[in-house]
């Protein structure tokens, strides 16, 4: 393998709806570059990219795959991504590592749901995008209709570089309106015969050529001036304009291929190596210290791991991109996420599971490392002395949760290890061991995502598991003031126990001030605060503990024991056993016994007094509320909103964005169970959404009753 310098390297991410031919295109790109000698097929389960058992089982890409090819003395790193939306983590991390997206459109269907979704992913991170109309050999190929849909739904700045001469089963040629030549292919595809444009196509080609020239001129002022004075542009100038338009997303060049028949692929590769941006053209990333890290081939070595996986016989592999300097074998670097020193003992480039050892990789290149000690996705490795990290991939927040349990308790430990590995390979699967809910909660992007995870547990890790309904992490709090006294007294045989605690509790809200006088039962009690503990509870909210003891009725040394007692009750609220929060406690009186008082006595007195007061203080259940943002095609907005209302959702606003509406709402987590599946069925899979924890809020009375009832039934069962 040749060593490639920064200006010889292009990095592309393949995007597109599931089934639009990304993996098949990747196969053709590798074949034309001589990286593979035979082209596999997805149906034959022998492509370089879809090599994992689950991909063979399903006939879809599930993970992103790193590949490379070579063309005209340049290297194209390719990341093939999964088109199914539940696996968008692989799309987002690939877009981070690539400088340009190449998006396939299946010309049988034109723009599909995944096309729109992926187009938006690229838009969000401002990556240039090349369109590839694929499957032109198919009997149902419809070039014109697909193009119309693309212009309507994706962008009006799509510019045809080619059009097919004979779409359908006989497809073997395209007219290239940039080069103004016809590219004709044999049955095996491969390199084209470059011919003059036939007379009957001349006029159409001419018109489309003019459209390109105008668009190229638009992307640059100096080109525009040249265009005005000369009435046209040279090929060199057009290419310059296209490269700039592509880079700034002012233009989306469109190609015509059949990946299956290897038709049109060489010309696409030529365009990528010549016109697609390289790392030095793109905005430089900003590091954790706010500094811009320029792509400097002579700078200090620096790389970012955008993907980790676990491979048979090898173990963990980390896929990275070089952002500065040169990476060589045996280089010593520091993982700046955890401070661990790593030696890069073996350096590889990858085409799926096939790896080739290389001595060095330069700025912009993509490679893989094995045998690192403590490095995984989203870590930065730098030459010593460069103590900063990249901002990194912004993986989507989870939006689907389930509880999981091994069918056999003997498998608990094995399940833990397997889940850790699964998370390592797919950071969008998040594992939460909830002490509170006494459940292992798995968070992911959708039902299908977690079913695929289960497939791995069943078939690869051989751990039978069950999915259960995930519990909701409720909280409890109080709504009014209450008072309680409790005397703990025990006299049996030897040493006795005695402790008495008088306290008030009241709701705590941020910024509220403490009481100086408390009235109850016709009495008025002056409170003078002698000590204050403000405890930020691990589960959110606060407990404020005030020592208002006067005249030494309780020794200061017992105050921590009382607090301990309170905290025990804060962990099991009286209504549903959930964590309590946002309570202020005034301990204002009590009694001691000269011999029998000890810490245990006061802990118990404090605990019971608090428990009694809590029950009388109008206890309420709080539930987690999520901010939900849904992007939905305008024609489905009404259905989505009425569904949200059925989920006790509160719609906060709506905004139009192209042909979509963005709905912002607040919805209780309890009502979001399987939302991704429901939304998908309401919108025919055409909606996207995100959800993020916002705050805890009181549940309505009827819901509170239902939750308490469910809790007490569950308690009885146990």
Query: Is-contact 3 360, C-beta < 8 A?
Result: yes
- When CB distances are held under 5 to 8 angstroms depending on the partner's kind, the choice from ligand GTP, Mg ion, none that residue 354 binds is none
Count the Cβ atoms, other than its own, within 10 Å of residue 631: 20
Cα 68 from Cα 6, distance rounded (Å): 15
* Min dist. Cβ of residue 255 to Mg ion (A): 18
Evaluated on CA atoms 49, 55, 56, 60, the torsion sign reads negative
Give the pair of three-digit tokens for residue 109.
């269907």
Name residues contacting ligand GTP, limited to 93-122 (CB under 6 A).
Answer: 104
End-to-end CA distance of the chain: 64
Residue 638, CA distances (Å) to 64, 153, 683, 686 in order: 35, 21, 11, 14
* 402-431 footprint of ligand GTP as x/- string (CB under 6 A): ------------------------------
Among 32, 93, 259, 302, contact with ligand GTP (rule: CB under 6 A): 259
Task: Give whichever of 448 and 660 is closer to ligand GTP, judged by the CB atom.
Answer: 448
- Asked if residue 564 binds ligand GTP (CB under 6 A), the reply is no
* Min dist. Cβ of residue 14 to ligand GTP (A): 8
Residues with Cβ within 8 Å of 650's Cβ and at least 6 positions away in sequence, in order, are: 665, 666, 667
Task: Give whichever of 45 and 664 is closer to ligand GTP, judged by the CB atom.
Answer: 45
Among 10, 75, 127, 260, contact with ligand GTP (rule: CB under 6 A): 260
Looking at 16-24, 123-131, 356-364, 587-595, which segment touches ligand GTP (CB under 6 A)? 16-24
- When CB distances are held under 5 to 8 angstroms depending on the partner's kind, the choice from Mg ion, ligand GTP, none that residue 24 binds is ligand GTP
- Asked if residue 61 binds Mg ion (CB under 5 A), the reply is yes
Residue 467's Cβ-count burial label (10 Å; 0-12, 13-18, 19+) is middle
Among 9, 11, 13, 21, contact with ligand GTP (rule: CB under 6 A): 21
Looking at 13-21, 115-123, 219-227, 491-499, which segment touches ligand GTP (CB under 6 A)? 13-21
- When CB distances are held under 5 to 8 angstroms depending on the partner's kind, the choice from ligand GTP, Mg ion, none that residue 328 binds is none
Q: Which helix (H) or strand (E) holds 332?
A: strand 331-335
Size of the site for Mg ion (CB under 5 A): 3
Task: Give whichever of 190 and 540 is closer to ligand GTP, judged by the CB atom.
Answer: 190
Query: Is-contact 171 262, C-beta < 8 A?
Result: no
* Min dist. Cβ of residue 134 to ligand GTP (A): 5
- Asked if residue 61 binds ligand GTP (CB under 6 A), the reply is yes
- When CB distances are held under 5 to 8 angstroms depending on the partner's kind, the choice from Mg ion, ligand GTP, none that residue 666 binds is none
Looking at 58-66, 260-268, 291-299, 383-391, which segment touches Mg ion (CB under 5 A)? 58-66
Query: Is-contact 29 69, C-beta < 8 A?
Result: yes
Task: Give whichever of 23 and 318 is closer to ligand GTP, judged by the CB atom.
Answer: 23
- Locate all alpha helices (DSSP H) within 394-446, ordered by sequence: 412-425
Looking at 59-67, 144-152, 157-165, 466-474, which segment touches Mg ion (CB under 5 A)? 59-67
Among 23, 94, 302, 445, contact with ligand GTP (rule: CB under 6 A): 23
Task: Give whichever of 22 and 181 is closer to ligand GTP, judged by the CB atom.
Answer: 22
Q: Which of 19, 107, 108, 103 is nearest to 61 (CA)?
A: 19
Residues with Cβ within 8 Å of 89's Cβ and at least 6 positions away in sequence, in order, are: 395, 396, 426, 427, 428, 445
| Bridge-based pairing state of the strands 660-668 and 162-164 | unpaired
- Asked if residue 43 binds ligand GTP (CB under 6 A), the reply is yes
Q: Which of 321, 247, 317 is nearest to 11 (CA)?
A: 321
Q: Which of 127, 66, 30 is nearest to 308 (CA)?
A: 66
Dihedral of the alpha carbons of 360, 351, 117, 242, in degrees to the nearest 10: 60
- Asked if residue 138 binds ligand GTP (CB under 6 A), the reply is yes
Phi/psi at 635 (5° precision) = -70, -10
Name residues contacting ligand GTP, limited to 74-93 (CB under 6 A).
Answer: 82-84
Residues with Cβ within 8 Å of 45's Cβ and at least 6 positions away in sequence, in order, are: 56
- Asked if residue 24 binds ligand GTP (CB under 6 A), the reply is yes
Task: Give whichever of 59 and 384 is closer to ligand GTP, judged by the CB atom.
Answer: 59
Residues with Cβ within 8 Å of 339's Cβ and at least 6 positions away in sequence, in order, are: none
Would you give the distance in Å from CA 433 to the centre of its chain?
Answer: 20
Task: Give whichever of 65 and 363 is closer to Mg ion, judged by the CB atom.
Answer: 65
Cα 448 from Cα 708, distance rounded (Å): 32
Cα 205 from Cα 207, distance rounded (Å): 5
Size of the site for ligand GTP (CB under 6 A): 24
* Min dist. Cβ of residue 473 to Mg ion (A): 37
Task: Give whichever of 83 and 277 is closer to ligand GTP, judged by the CB atom.
Answer: 83
**The 3-state secondary structure of 635-656, one letter per residue:** HHHHHHHHHHHHCCCEEEEEEE
Task: Give whichever of 133 and 505 is closer to ligand GTP, judged by the CB atom.
Answer: 133
| Bridge-based pairing state of the strands 360-362 and 326-328 | antiparallel
Task: Give whichever of 59 and 191 is closer to ligand GTP, judged by the CB atom.
Answer: 59
Cα 158 from Cα 694, distance rounded (Å): 39
Name residues contacting Mg ion, limited to 11-50 (CB under 5 A).
Answer: 22-23
* 270-309 footprint of ligand GTP as x/- string (CB under 6 A): ----------------------------------------
Dihedral of the alpha carbons of 439, 444, 450, 456, in degrees to the nearest 10: -90
Among 137, 237, 425, 447, contact with ligand GTP (rule: CB under 6 A): 137
Looking at 129-137, 380-388, 605-613, 670-678, which segment touches ligand GTP (CB under 6 A)? 129-137
Among 10, 22, 127, 244, contact with ligand GTP (rule: CB under 6 A): 22
Task: Give whichever of 40 and 392 is closer to ligand GTP, judged by the CB atom.
Answer: 40
Cα 621 from Cα 704, distance rounded (Å): 6
Tell me which residues touch ligand GTP (CB under 6 A): 16, 18-24, 41-43, 60-61, 82-84, 104, 134-135, 137-138, 258-260
Tell me which residues touch Mg ion (CB under 5 A): 22-23, 61
């Amino acid at each position: 393998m040749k060593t490639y310098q920064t200006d010889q390297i292009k990095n592309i991410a393949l995007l597109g709806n599931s089934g639009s031919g990304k993996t098949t295109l990747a196969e053709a790109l590798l074949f034309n570059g001589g990286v593979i000698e035979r082209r596999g097929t997805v149906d034959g389960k022998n492509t370089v990219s879809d090599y994992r058992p689950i991909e063979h089982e399903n006939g879809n890409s599930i993970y992103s795959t790193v590949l490379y090819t070579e063309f005209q003395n340049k290297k194209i790193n390719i990341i093939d991504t999964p088109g199914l939306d539940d696996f968008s983590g692989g799309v987002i991390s690939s877009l981070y590592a690539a400088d340009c997206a190449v998006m396939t459109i299946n010309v049988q269907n034109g723009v599909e749901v995944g096309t729109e979704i992926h187009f938006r992913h690229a838009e969000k991170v401002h990556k240039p995008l090349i369109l590839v109309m694929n499957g032109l050999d198919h009997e149902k190929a419809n070039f014109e209709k697909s193009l119309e849909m693309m212009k309507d739904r994706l962008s009006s700045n799509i510019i045809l570089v080619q059009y097919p001469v004979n779409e359908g089963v006989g497809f073997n040629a395209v007219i290239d309106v940039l080069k103004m030549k016809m590219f004709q292919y044999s049955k095996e595809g491969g390199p084209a015969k470059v011919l003059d444009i036939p007379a009957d196509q001349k006029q159409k080609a001419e018109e489309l050529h003019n459209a390109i020239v105008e668009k190229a001129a638009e992307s640059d002022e100096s080109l525009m001036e040249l265009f005005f004075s000369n009435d046209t542009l040279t090929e060199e100038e057009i290419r310059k304009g296209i490269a700039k338009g592509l880079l700034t997303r002012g233009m989306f060049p469109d190609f015509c291929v059949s990946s299956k028949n290897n038709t049109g692929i060489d010309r696409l590769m030529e365009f990528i190596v010549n016109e697609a941006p390289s790392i030095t053209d793109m905005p430089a990333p900003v590091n954790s210290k706010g500094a811009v890290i320029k792509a400097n081939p002579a700078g200090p070595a620096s790389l970012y791991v955008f993907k980790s996986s676990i491979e048979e016989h090898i173990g963990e592999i980390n896929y990275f991109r070089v952002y500065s300097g040169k990476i060589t074998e045996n280089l010593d670097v520091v993982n700046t996420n955890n401070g661990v020193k790593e030696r890069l003992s073996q350096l590889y480039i990858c085409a799926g599971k096939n790896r080739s050892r290389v001595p060095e990789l330069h700025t912009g290149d993509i490679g893989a490392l094995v045998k690192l000690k403590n490095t995984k996705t989203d870590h930065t490795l730098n030459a010593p002395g460069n103590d900063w990290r990249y901002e990194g991939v912004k993986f989507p927040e989870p939006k689907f949760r389930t509880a999981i349990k091994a069918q056999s308790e003997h498998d608990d430990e094995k399940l833990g290890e397997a889940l850790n590995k699964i998370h390592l390979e797919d950071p969008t699967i998040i594992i939460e061991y909830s002490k509170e809910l006494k459940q292992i909660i798995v968070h992911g992007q959708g039902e299908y995502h977690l079913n695929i995870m289960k497939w791995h547990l069943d078939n690869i890790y051989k751990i039978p598991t069950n999915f259960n309904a995930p519990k909701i992490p409720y909280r409890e709090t109080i709504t009014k003031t209450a008072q309680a006294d409790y005397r703990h007294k025990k006299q049996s045989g030897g040493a006795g126990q005695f402790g008495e605690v008088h306290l008030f509790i009241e709701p705590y809200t941020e910024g509220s001030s403490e009481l100086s006088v408390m009235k109850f039962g016709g009495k008025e009690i002056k409170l003078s605060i002698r000590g204050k503990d403000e405890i930020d509870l691990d589960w959110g909210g606060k407990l404020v503990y005030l020592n208002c003891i006067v005249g030494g009725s309780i020794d200061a040394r017992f105050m921590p024991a009382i607090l301990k007692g309170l905290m025990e009750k804060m962990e099991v609220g009286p209504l549903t056993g959930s964590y309590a929060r946002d309570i202020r406690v005034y301990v204002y009186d009590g009694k001691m016994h000269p011999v029998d008082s000890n810490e245990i006595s006061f802990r118990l007195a404090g605990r019971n007094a608090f428990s009694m007061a809590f029950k009388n203080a109008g206890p309420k259940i709080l539930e987690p509320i999520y901010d939900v943002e849904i992007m939905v095609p305008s024609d489905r907005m009404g259905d989505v909103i009425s569904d949200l209302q059925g989920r006790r959702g509160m719609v906060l606003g709506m905004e139009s964005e192209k042909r979509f509406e963005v709905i912002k709402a607040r919805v209780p987590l309890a009502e979001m169970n399987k939302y991704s599946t429901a939304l998908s069925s309401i919108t025919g899979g055409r909606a996207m959404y995100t959800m993020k924890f916002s705050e805890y809020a009181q549940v309505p009375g009827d819901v509170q009753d239902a939750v308490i009832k469910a809790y007490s039934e569950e308690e009885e069962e146990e």
